[in-house]
A = this chain, B = another copy of it.
Amino acid sequence: MSDSENRCGALVWSPFPDMGSASTAANVLLDEKLVACANMIPQMVSIFGWKGEREQSSETGALFKTNAALLGKAIERIGELHPYEEPAILGWRCDEGAPATLAWLEELEQ
């Protein structure tokens, strides 16, 4: 990744079973400076296919802010902290961000 790509922010989306488990994971990720923030959305309804079955459940959506250089590590750690055996975790680099936001996310690596 080029230097400028490395500097851009990144977001990670992962549904959790509830607010408690999402908050617990968020606090560890913040302690370990892998994310700067977690926005958690309660009362989400999820419908998904899993091992050939259709399932529906109430979940808490967690959207984590990190920077592009830490994206892979953050995803890996979320996987370790997540209560599901095989959680859904997807991350993407952001093309632009407010200057203060990018500086804040860069501080994660200092």
Of B27, B37, B93, the contact of A88 (CB 8 Å cutoff): B37
A89 near B61: Cβ-Cβ < 8 Å: no
Tally A residues with Cβ within 8 Å of B. Answer: 53
User: How many copies of this protein are present in the complex?
Assistant: 3
Pair A46/B41 contact, Cβ less than 8 Å: no
Interface contact A11-B90, CB-CB below 8 Å? yes
Q: Which of B23, B88, B94 contacts A90 (CB 8 A)?
A: B94
* Shortest Cβ distance from A56 into B: residue: B23
Residues of A within 8 A of B (CB): 9-11, 13, 15, 19, 23, 26-27, 30, 33, 36-49, 54, 59, 61, 63, 65, 68, 71-72, 75-76, 78-79, 86-98, 100-101, 104
